[in-house]
Amino acid sequence: MDSPTDSLEPVLKAAHLIGSTMSMLGVEGLRITREPKEAWTEAVDTVADLRQQVREVAREKDASKRQQLGSQESRQVMGVIRLEFAKTPR
Protein backbone atom coordinates (compact mmCIF):
# COMPACT_ATOMS: atom_id res chain seq x y z
CA MET A 1 0.00 0.00 0.00
CA ASP A 2 2.49 2.59 -1.15
CA SER A 3 0.37 4.54 -3.62
CA PRO A 4 -2.92 6.36 -2.94
CA THR A 5 -4.76 4.11 -5.40
CA ASP A 6 -3.79 1.02 -3.37
CA SER A 7 -5.77 2.33 -0.41
CA LEU A 8 -8.80 2.93 -2.62
CA GLU A 9 -8.92 -0.60 -3.97
CA PRO A 10 -11.06 -2.05 -1.13
CA VAL A 11 -13.42 0.91 -1.37
CA LEU A 12 -13.80 0.46 -5.11
CA LYS A 13 -14.48 -3.27 -4.65
CA ALA A 14 -17.15 -2.51 -2.06
CA ALA A 15 -18.72 0.12 -4.33
CA HIS A 16 -18.82 -2.35 -7.20
CA LEU A 17 -20.42 -5.02 -4.97
CA ILE A 18 -23.05 -2.59 -3.70
CA GLY A 19 -23.74 -1.34 -7.23
CA SER A 20 -24.17 -4.83 -8.67
CA THR A 21 -26.36 -5.94 -5.73
CA MET A 22 -28.61 -2.89 -6.04
CA SER A 23 -28.76 -3.42 -9.80
CA MET A 24 -30.09 -6.94 -9.21
CA LEU A 25 -32.80 -5.39 -7.04
CA GLY A 26 -33.76 -2.97 -9.83
CA VAL A 27 -32.03 0.15 -8.53
CA GLU A 28 -30.25 1.99 -11.34
CA GLY A 29 -28.17 5.16 -11.56
CA LEU A 30 -26.31 4.88 -8.27
CA ARG A 31 -22.92 5.40 -9.83
CA ILE A 32 -22.16 8.91 -10.97
CA THR A 33 -19.85 9.23 -13.93
CA ARG A 34 -17.98 12.40 -14.60
CA GLU A 35 -17.71 14.07 -17.94
CA PRO A 36 -14.23 14.23 -19.43
CA LYS A 37 -12.04 17.07 -18.20
CA GLU A 38 -11.82 18.46 -21.74
CA ALA A 39 -15.59 19.02 -21.86
CA TRP A 40 -15.52 20.94 -18.57
CA THR A 41 -12.48 22.91 -19.65
CA GLU A 42 -14.21 23.95 -22.87
CA ALA A 43 -17.37 24.96 -21.01
CA VAL A 44 -15.47 26.97 -18.39
CA ASP A 45 -13.41 28.68 -21.09
CA THR A 46 -16.59 29.61 -22.95
CA VAL A 47 -18.11 31.12 -19.81
CA ALA A 48 -14.86 33.01 -19.11
CA ASP A 49 -14.86 34.42 -22.67
CA LEU A 50 -18.47 35.53 -22.28
CA ARG A 51 -17.66 37.15 -18.94
CA GLN A 52 -14.76 39.04 -20.52
CA GLN A 53 -17.01 40.25 -23.34
CA VAL A 54 -19.56 41.51 -20.81
CA ARG A 55 -16.81 43.36 -18.95
CA GLU A 56 -15.59 44.99 -22.16
CA VAL A 57 -19.11 46.11 -23.09
CA ALA A 58 -19.58 47.51 -19.59
CA ARG A 59 -16.28 49.42 -19.86
CA GLU A 60 -17.26 50.82 -23.25
CA LYS A 61 -20.64 51.93 -21.91
CA ASP A 62 -18.96 53.45 -18.86
CA ALA A 63 -16.45 55.32 -21.02
CA SER A 64 -19.23 56.49 -23.32
CA LYS A 65 -21.28 57.65 -20.35
CA ARG A 66 -18.30 59.53 -18.91
CA GLN A 67 -17.68 61.17 -22.26
CA GLN A 68 -21.34 62.20 -22.49
CA LEU A 69 -21.27 63.63 -18.98
CA GLY A 70 -18.03 65.43 -19.75
CA SER A 71 -19.44 66.95 -22.92
CA GLN A 72 -22.62 67.99 -21.08
CA GLU A 73 -20.53 69.67 -18.37
CA SER A 74 -18.38 71.43 -20.94
CA ARG A 75 -21.53 72.66 -22.75
CA GLN A 76 -22.87 73.99 -19.45
CA VAL A 77 -19.58 75.74 -18.75
CA MET A 78 -19.53 77.20 -22.27
CA GLY A 79 -23.11 78.38 -21.78
CA VAL A 80 -22.13 80.16 -18.55
CA ILE A 81 -19.14 81.73 -20.30
CA ARG A 82 -21.36 82.96 -23.14
CA LEU A 83 -23.84 84.43 -20.66
CA GLU A 84 -21.06 86.20 -18.79
CA PHE A 85 -19.54 87.40 -22.05
CA ALA A 86 -22.93 88.71 -23.18
CA LYS A 87 -23.29 90.66 -19.90
CA THR A 88 -19.97 92.45 -20.20
CA PRO A 89 -20.12 95.89 -21.83
CA ARG A 90 -18.25 96.34 -25.10
Could you write out the DSSP letters of every residue in 60-75? HHHHHHHHHHHHHHHH
- Tell me the per-residue pLDDT of 66-87, one tens digit each, with 9 for 90 and over: 777 677 777 776 666 666 666 6
From residue 12, alpha-carbon distances to 19, 29, 33, 34, 71 in Å are 10, 16, 14, 16, 69
Give domain limits for the chain.
1-33, 36-90
Q: Contacts for 56-62 with beta carbons within 8 Å, 24 or more apart?
A: none
pLDDT of residue 51: 92
The model carries a pTM of 0.39
Type of residue numbered 50: L
